[in-house]
Amino acid sequence: MTALIESPAELEPAALKKAKGSGGGLGRYILVRFLLIIPTIFILVTLVFFLMRVTGDPITAALGGKLPPEQLAVKIHDAGYDRPIFVQYFEYLGHILTGNFGSTLDNQPITQVLLTYGSATLELAFFALIVALLIGIPLGMLAAKFRDKWPDAGLRIFAILGYATPVFFAGLLLKLIFSVWLGWFPVAGRADTENALALQQLSSPTGIYFLDAIRSGNMAALGDVLQHAVLPAVALGLLTGGVFLRLVRTNVIGTLGRDYVEAGRSRGVSEFRLVTKHAYKPALIPIITVMGLQIAMLLGGAVLTETTFEWKGLGFQLAQYLGSRDFVAVQGIVALLAVLVAVTNFLVDVIAALIDPRVRY
């Protein structure tokens, strides 16, 4: 009987087939989503600007009490923080438009900070996303298959614990168990000192250690990098993995109740085949839709994860700037991350529209 269904297309919802055939609305959808980026970025960078000035100007916040009043006044004047707040604000917006996100108190451009430390954060976010997908998709499908039975209940509890547990607590717990007690993984860092230096001295390094190790053919360094990445990636990936698990479960259950799946059952298709070969595909589309939001969560969680594991990325550096009260650097980094998250959400929306034409309407 299962031979009657040769491909998943036969079980495809009629609405999806109709949307695919229409082909219209994609250009309009992309244009609307792109135009929405402008007010989103404007609101985000405006909030960052004024929140960073709640306690006064950044120079006084960082250096007040450390310099004589005369020297402090000179630095405030040189930075332009003695001018009216809205003059500073419009100058700040002008700099943002030209890609100038400011400099740290030691005169290092924020864009250079991003280039120096952003690759480490990107690497961690990539590994964490892989962990989240490996947790969320198969376990979500398993929970849907055993709906309202004990495996489903256990997996739902696991999902809630995954995204409810603070990232730093999960990181500390993983370090305690797997590094201190069992000694299976390194306690901190991105790689051993010898391997890190070897990867940094390559010609045109990307700063993403596992890519540099693959490019150079250094398998020993690759193994070391992956071993260092396991615990921080799991700690951060659990946050998003729990969300994916519940999302996949909900959507697979919803898909299994549709008419075209019921038609498959009537033809004798097994429940396992319906879940793994037909129901999961449309159920995965919402994951792509929420991917942009989850990337923002990963970047936010990276601050605590990188600090916990001494992963020298952008989140670790941001924590250092907060500790030294370098609010100029904090403002620039947060504004830059806000722009990147907004652009990422736009790209995810476009990809979702290309995969599932129904989202355009």
What are 165-200's pLDDT values in tens digits? 888 899 999 999 999 999 999 998 999 988 888 888
Task: Give the distance from CA 1 to its chain's centroid.
Answer: 44
Give the start-end residues of each E strand in the chain. Answer: none
**Residue 300 maps to a domain:** yes
Which pTM value belongs to this model? 0.80
Tens-place pLDDT, residues 313-327? 988 988 888 887 788
Same domain, 253 and 143: yes
For residue 280, the 8-state DSSP code is H
Same domain, 87 and 116: no
**Residue 353 maps to a domain:** no
Span 201-206, average pLDDT: 82
Answer with the one of 98, 127, 147 that is the final residue of a domain. Answer: 98
Q: Which of 59-63, 66-70, 113-117 has the lowest mean pLDDT?
A: 59-63
| For residue 222, pLDDT beyond 90 | yes
Residue 256 CB partners (closer than 8 Å, separation 6+): 144, 274, 275, 279
**Residue 166 maps to a domain:** yes
Q: How many residues does the chain have?
A: 361
Give the start-end residues of each E strand in 230-335. Answer: none
116 CB-side CA count, 13 A: 11
Reported as a pLDDT band with limits 50, 70 and 90, residue 33 is confident
If you average pLDDT over each of 180-189, 249-258, 279-288, which comes out highest?
180-189
Same domain, 134 and 31: no
Same domain, 165 and 80: no
Same domain, 91 and 119: no
Same domain, 173 and 244: yes
Tens-place pLDDT, residues 124-133? 999 999 999 9
Token couple for 259: 């008419």
Same domain, 34 and 156: no
Residue 261 CB partners (closer than 8 Å, separation 6+): 11, 255, 274, 278, 279
How far is residue 244's CA from residue 255's CA, in Å, rounded to a whole number? 16
**Residue 74 maps to a domain:** yes
**Residue 13 maps to a domain:** no
Same domain, 151 and 296: yes
**Residue 342 maps to a domain:** no
Same domain, 155 and 81: no
**Residue 147 maps to a domain:** yes
Reported as a pLDDT band with limits 50, 70 and 90, residue 359 is low
**Residue 8 maps to a domain:** no
Residue 217 CB partners (closer than 8 Å, separation 6+): none
Reported as a pLDDT band with limits 50, 70 and 90, residue 357 is low
Task: Give the distance from CA 135 to its chain's centroid.
Answer: 16
Same domain, 188 and 306: yes
Same domain, 137 and 171: yes
How far is residue 107's CA from residue 109's CA, in Å, rounded to a whole number? 6
Neighbours of 244 (CB within 10 A): 28
For residue 66, the 8-state DSSP code is T
Token couple for 204: 């045109």
| For residue 307, pLDDT beyond 60 | yes
- In which domain, by residue range, is 272 found? 110-324
- SS3 of residue 275 by DSSP: helix
CATH of the domain at 163: 1.10.3720.10
Same domain, 215 and 263: yes
Phi, psi of 103 (to 5 degrees): -135, 160
Total number of domains in the chain: 2
Question: When comparing pLDDT for 9 and 112, which is higher?
Answer: 112
| For residue 256, pLDDT beyond 80 | no
Span 216-220, average pLDDT: 91
Answer with the one of 41, 68, 98 that is the final residue of a domain. Answer: 98
The predicted structure's pLDDT at residue 212: 92
Question: Which residue, chain included where needed, has tokens 């943002």?
Answer: 96
